[in-house]
Structure 1
Amino acid sequence: MMGRNIKMAAVAFTAIITLTGCGTKLYDMTDEEQGLIANYSAYVVAKHNIYQQDGMTNATEKRGDMEDADDTEKVDEASPDNSLSQDNKTSEAGNDKSSNSQKEPSATQEKKVSLAEATGYGSLEITYDGVNESDVYNEGSYYSITAGSGNTFAVMKFTLKNPTDEDINVDMFGNARTYKATFPDGKEYTAEGTFLTYSLNTFQGTVKAHDAVDVVLLFKIPQGTACDNIKMSVIKDNEKSLIEL
C-alpha cells in the first residue's frame, strides 16, 4: 500500500511540474519512466525514515512509550522514597550493564533455500541467467548508472516466472532484503541500492499468470575481478539464506 501511495505521489508531483508554465506541452511518460520516478521517491523516503523497518504503527507506539516513561519519572520525583529508589535503580542498572557486557552478539543464522523463498515470494520461480560486466549500466533510454574509476558492475541477470494461474503482485523494495554475492577473490559485495525499475531488490509490479519478468542485480566490484563461481546470499532479520545459483 505504501509503495502504491508513493507511486501516486510521484506521478502527481511530475504532473504538477509538467503542467506549469505558459504554453508548455504536456509530456507523456512511459511506464518505465513513471516506475523510475516512483522508485526514486520511495528510495529517498526510505533513506530518511528512521522507522522504515518498524512501520508507522510501531513508531507511534514508541512515542507513546516515551510519554509513559516521562510520566513515570514525574511520579518518582514526587515520591518521599525517591532517593532510595534511585539508588536501587542505579545499582540494578550497573548489574544489567555488567551482565550485558558479558553477552556475545548472536551469530547470524544460515540456511540453504531457493532464491524465490529467500525473497519471500515462494510462488514464483526465480532463475539465474548468468552475469556480464559493464562499466555503465543502462535501463532503457531513460536511466544509466556508472561504476566509477577502477570499478565495474557485475550484472547478474534473473527471471521472475509466475507458473500459477493467478497474477502475483511483487514488492521487492518493501520486503527489506539485503542481497550479497561472494566472488572468486573471496570478498563479499552487497548489491547496489539503486532505484532501477527492473532490479531484483527494487522491483515493484505484477507478474501475470504464466508470464515472466527479467530483472538484474548490480554489484560494484574492482575491475579485473573474476565473475565465475559466484556464491549468493540473502539476509532478512539477521537470518542469512544461502542460494544455489
Structure 2
Amino acid sequence: MTGKRIKIMASVLVAATVMTGCGTKIYEMTDEEQQLIVNYSAYVLSKHNIYQPDGMTSATESETEEQDTSTTETETKTADEKTSEKTSEKTSEKTDTGQENGNSGQSQQTAQETKPTMQTVSLAQAIGYEGLSVSYAGMTTQETYKEGSYYSMEAGAGNTYAVLKFTLSNTTGADMNVDLFTNTGKYRAAFSGGKEYEAEGSFLTYALNTFQGTIAAGQSVDVVLLFKVPQDTVCDSVTMSVEKDNVKNLIAL
C-alpha cells in the first residue's frame, strides 16, 4: 500500500513540474503528503549512506548514570590512593623520627656510660705505685727543652712549653722497678683556668709519662711533663688531671 502511495505522489510531482512549466498553478500538497515525501527521502538516503552507523547517537539515561557512577568511583579511588600515600609518608616520617630519637638516646646513653668518673686524689695515688711518692716541684716555660746534652725539643713558632717538674721518691726499704711508659694514663693540665692541654708524648728518658727504671730504696729521681701551649698563655697557676682505667683523677698539687 505504501509503495503504491509513493508511486502516486511521484506522479503528482512530475505532473506538477510539467504544469508549472506551462504556467499552470502549482499543486499544493497536504501536510500528510509532505510528510510522506520527507520520510521516503530520509529512507533512501539512509539506505545508500555507508557511514550511517557512525552517525551521532544519543546516550540513554541509564548509560549516562553508569558513566557518572564510573567517574565518581574512579575519583574516589584516586582520592583514597592519595590519602593512603600521605598516611604512609607520615608513618614513615614518624618511624624515621622515632629511630633518630632512639639512636640519639642510645648515643647519649653510650656517652654517659663511657664518660669517666671523677675523683680528687694525689698524683702518687693516680699513678698507682704503692710506696712511690710524687711531689710537685714547680713550673717554667721554655721554647726549647733540653735533656742533658743529648736531646732537645722545639715548641715551634708561636708556641712554648709549659714544663711541670716532679720528684719521684722511693719511700720503701727495697729497690722499686717503675714503668710509667707502659703503666700510665693521659696527663692533662689547664693554666690559669684556661684551656686544657694534653702532655706531649716524647722520647725523653726522664718524663713522668715515659720514665722506666729502678729507683733505689730511699732514693729520688727528677722528672718533667711538657705541655705545648701558645706563647700568650698565662701560666701563673695550673690544675692537673690524670685519666686512667676510665677514671679521671683530679690532682691535688
Shorter-chain TM-score above 0.5 = yes
Q: Quick one: which amino acid aligns to residue 136 of structure 1? A: T
Classify 1:104/1:171 alpha carbon distance in 2 versus 1 (closer, same or farther; 3 Å). same
Match of 2:147 in 1: 139
Match of 2:198 in 1: 190
Q: How many residues align?
A: 150
Match of 2:165 in 1: 157
Q: Quick one: which amino acid aligns to residue 179 of structure 2? A: D
Match of 1:224 in 2: 232
Q: Are the counterparts in 1 of residues 193 and 238 from structure 2 also a CA contact under 8 Å?
A: no
Distance across 1 between alignment mates of 2:227 and 2:107: 36
Q: Are the counterparts in 2 of residues 194 and 202 from structure 1 also a CA contact under 8 Å?
A: yes
SS for the counterpart of 1:182 is: strand
Q: CA deviation at 1:228?
A: 2.1
The structure 1 segments of at least 4 consecutive aligned residues displaced by more than 4 Å after TM superposition are none
Match of 1:109 in 2: 117
Match of 1:11 in 2: none
Classify 1:101/1:225 alpha carbon distance in 2 versus 1 (closer, same or farther; 3 Å). closer
SS for the counterpart of 2:174 is: coil
Q: Give the structure with the higher percent helix.
A: 2
Classify 1:146/1:164 alpha carbon distance in 2 versus 1 (closer, same or farther; 3 Å). same
Q: CA deviation at 1:122?
A: 3.0
Q: CA deviation at 1:101?
A: 4.5
Post-superposition CA distance 1:51-108 (Å, at most 9, x none): xxxxxxxxxxxxxxxxxxxxxxxxxxxxxxxxxxxxxxxxxxx9xx858456341232
Classify 1:216/1:104 alpha carbon distance in 2 versus 1 (closer, same or farther; 3 Å). same
Q: Quick one: which amino acid aligns to residue 103 of structure 1? A: Q
SS for the counterpart of 1:103 is: helix
Superposition CA RMSD, Å: 1.7
Match of 1:178 in 2: 186
Classify 1:100/1:166 alpha carbon distance in 2 versus 1 (closer, same or farther; 3 Å). same
SS for the counterpart of 2:173 is: coil
SS for the counterpart of 2:109 is: coil
Q: Are the counterparts in 2 of residues 185 and 225 from structure 1 also a CA contact under 8 Å?
A: no
Q: CA deviation at 1:158?
A: 0.3
Distance across 2 between alignment mates of 1:187 and 1:100: 29
Q: CA deviation at 1:195?
A: 1.4
Match of 1:12 in 2: none
Q: Quick one: which amino acid aligns to residue 227 of structure 2? A: F
Q: CA deviation at 1:229?
A: 2.0
Equivalent of residue 125 in structure 1, options 114, 117, 133: 133
Classify 1:182/1:174 alpha carbon distance in 2 versus 1 (closer, same or farther; 3 Å). same
Post-superposition CA distance 1:124-179 (Å, at most 9, x none): 11000000110000001110000000000011000001111011100000013110
What is the TM-score normalised by the length of structure 1? Answer: 0.58
Percent of residue pairs identical: 55
Distance across 2 between alignment mates of 1:152 and 1:190: 14
SS for the counterpart of 1:210 is: coil
Classify 1:203/1:102 alpha carbon distance in 2 versus 1 (closer, same or farther; 3 Å). closer
**Residue segments in structure 1 that go unaligned for 5+ positions in a row:** 1-93
Match of 1:204 in 2: 212
Q: Quick one: which amino acid aligns to residue 209 of structure 1? A: A
Q: Which has the larger radius of gyration?
A: 2
Match of 2:246 in 1: 238
Distance across 1 between alignment mates of 2:202 and 2:250: 22
Q: Are the counterparts in 1 of residues 118 and 250 from structure 2 also a CA contact under 8 Å?
A: yes
**Residue segments in structure 2 that go unaligned for 5+ positions in a row:** 1-98
SS for the counterpart of 2:125 is: helix
